[in-house]
Amino acid sequence: MKGARWLVVCLLLGASASAAEEEARPPTRFERAVAVLGAPAVSADDSRRAKAELAAIIAGEEDSADASAARYLLGRLKQLENNEADPPEFQALRARHPGHPLAQLAALKVLLRRLYADSAESPDDRLRAGEELAAAITLPALRSDYHLAMGEAYIFHGDRREPALRHLRAAAEIGIPSAATRANVLVQIGELARLSGERAVAAASYRAFIAEFPRDLRQQIVRDRLADLEGKAP
């Protein structure tokens, strides 16, 4: 009888120890912090504690996958809450693991902020910085977003048609997950190519748009543009 009691006590202690062990594991701590930060009404104290938890994961095992995820989330929150364009966590992530998907994503997020920063930096310098990033972003899903960002930035900063067209065509070739964005890009390629005198490129892009987006509001105007290119009356 006495032995059975001890067995139960040992089992309970063992279970609570393994639960505590599970609670202390970085993935569990990361998930806990994310759950707190994602709650609809997170208090300032809870938010601070969750961020401290993320910082502790980074301090505990600097090069683990959990630490990279924690670095990304902490950096991202600084971007969004404190308007820090390139937070230290992003810099550390890019320096330690430049090829890591989250490091590439962080680089793209930093670029977006730089392209449209309210600063004295010239458009030329911003766009040059964007071009220099090209080699660092290798993940196909992000390369498409990178080219889209650059294409739109070239249009925004002075309607520079040739580089904008080059980037938008690259994005379209890689693949654009959002249908609405792809529709826009096909029209943009058509328009930019038409204005640059690349009639074949323009016509191909217009045709792709007409075929792929039959319900789009721009069907008629794109058909008109194509007819103009082909020398037919719209």
Residues lying near another protein in the complex (CB under 8 A) are found at: 27, 30-31, 34-35, 37-38, 40, 66, 69, 72-73, 76-77, 80-81, 102, 105, 108-109, 112-113, 115-118, 139, 141-142, 144-145, 148-149, 152, 155-156, 159, 176-181, 184, 187-188, 191-192, 195, 215-222
Cβ closer to another protein: 18 or 220?
220
Smallest distance from the beta carbon of 4 to another protein, in angstroms? Answer: 31
Between CA 233 and CA 177 the distance in angstroms is 35
Cβ closer to another protein: 132 or 159?
159
Question: CB count, 10 Å around CB of 97?
Answer: 17
Smallest distance from the beta carbon of 157 to another protein, in angstroms? Answer: 10
For residue 95, the SS3 value is: helix
Backbone angles phi, psi at 80, to 5 degrees: -85, -35
Cβ closer to another protein: 133 or 176?
176
Smallest distance from the beta carbon of 203 to another protein, in angstroms? Answer: 15
Going from the C-alpha of 150 to that of each of 1, 103, 111, 163, 197, the distances in angstroms are 75, 18, 9, 8, 21
**By CB neighbour count within 10 A (0-12 exposed, 13-18 middle, 19+ buried), where does 163 fall?**
middle
Cβ closer to another protein: 96 or 223?
223
Cβ closer to another protein: 96 or 160?
160
Smallest distance from the beta carbon of 150 to another protein, in angstroms? Answer: 11
Between CA 143 and CA 146 the distance in angstroms is 5
